[in-house]
Amino acid sequence: MLAICAVIAFVIVWKQSNHPSELGTARALSAVRATLSAPSLKNEATGSSAMKRGEQVVFEGACDASGAVPIDDRHFALADDEDNLLRIYDAERGGKPLRSIDLNPQLALQDDKKKKKKKSLESDLEAATSIGNQAYWLSSHGRNKSGKLKEERLVFFSTNLPQVNGALRVIGEPYRDLVDDMVAEPSLQAFHLDAAQRLAPKAPGGLNFEGLTATPEGSLLVGLRSPIPEGNALLVPIENPSDLVWGTKPRFGAPLLLQLGGLGIRALSTWRGRYLVVAGPPAAGQSELFVWDGPGTEVQLVQGAAEGLNPEAFFTPEDREQIMLLSDDGTQMVQGVECKSAPIEAQHFRGQWLTLTYAKKRGASAQKSPHHKF
Which carries the bigger pLDDT value, residue 369 or residue 1?
1
Kindly compute the dihedral angle of the four CA atoms of residues 129, 131, 134, 138, in this order, to the nearest 10 degrees: -30
**Cα–Cα distance, 82 to 62 (Å, whole number):** 9
CA-based R_g, the chain, Å: 20
Q: For 195, which DSSP code?
A: H
Residue 51: burial class (beta carbons within 10 Å; 0-12, 13-18, 19+): buried
Collect all residues with Cβ–Cβ distance below 8 Å to 295 and sequence separation of at least 6. Answer: 6, 8, 34, 256, 372, 373, 374
Strands 333-334 and 337-338: antiparallel
* Alpha helices in the chain, H assignment, sequence order: 104-107, 178-184, 193-196, 241-244
The three state secondary structure string of 241-257 is: HHHHCCCCCCCECCCEE
Strands 288-292 and 99-102: unpaired
* Local confidence band at 374 (pLDDT 50, 70, 90 cut-offs): very low
- Is the model's pLDDT at 367 over the cut of 90? no
- Is the model's pLDDT at 373 over the cut of 80? no
Indicate the range of 25-34, 165-174, 294-303 predicted with least confidence. Answer: 25-34
- Is the model's pLDDT at 12 over the cut of 80? no
* Local confidence band at 43 (pLDDT 50, 70, 90 cut-offs): low
The reported pLDDT for the residue numbered 80 is 94
- Is the model's pLDDT at 66 over the cut of 80? yes
Determine the average pLDDT of the residues in 39-50.
Answer: 53
Would the CA dihedral through 19, 23, 24, 30 be positive or negative? Answer: positive
Q: What is the DSSP string of 5-38?
A: EEE--EE---PPPS-TT-TTS----SEE--B--B
The reported pLDDT for the residue numbered 123 is 85
> Which amino acid, 131?
I
- Is the model's pLDDT at 64 over the cut of 80? yes
Mean pLDDT of the chain: 83
- Is the model's pLDDT at 6 over the cut of 50? no
Q: What is the DSSP string of 83-105?
A: SSEEEEEETTT-BS-SEEEE-HH
Determine the average pLDDT of the residues in 84-95.
Answer: 97
Q: For 151, which DSSP code?
A: G
Determine the average pLDDT of the residues in 315-342.
Answer: 95
CA 96 to chain centre: 24
Domains of the chain in sequence order: 5-10+31-356 (2.115.10)
**Cα–Cα distance, 33 to 362 (Å, whole number):** 31
CA angle 329, 330, 335 (to 5 degrees): 95
Collect all residues with Cβ–Cβ distance below 8 Å to 180 and sequence separation of at least 6. Answer: none
Residue 343: burial class (beta carbons within 10 Å; 0-12, 13-18, 19+): exposed
The reported pLDDT for the residue numbered 109 is 64
Are the beta carbons of 41 and 305 closer than 8 angstroms?
Answer: no
Q: For 216, which DSSP code?
A: T
Determine the average pLDDT of the residues in 86-109.
Answer: 93
Which carries the bigger pLDDT value, residue 28 or residue 305?
305
**Cα–Cα distance, 279 to 366 (Å, whole number):** 27
Determine the average pLDDT of the residues in 4-33.
Answer: 33
**Cα–Cα distance, 108 to 149 (Å, whole number):** 18
Residue 204: burial class (beta carbons within 10 Å; 0-12, 13-18, 19+): middle
* Local confidence band at 101 (pLDDT 50, 70, 90 cut-offs): very high
249-253's contacts with Cβ under 8 Å and 24+ in sequence apart are 249/177, 249/181, 250/178, 250/181, 252/181, 252/182, 252/185, 252/187, 252/188, 253/219, 253/374
- Is the model's pLDDT at 327 over the cut of 70? yes
Residue 77's nearest CA partner among 85, 88, 66, 90 is 88
Indicate the range of 8-12, 272-276, 302-306 predicted with least confidence. Answer: 8-12
- Is the model's pLDDT at 115 over the cut of 70? no
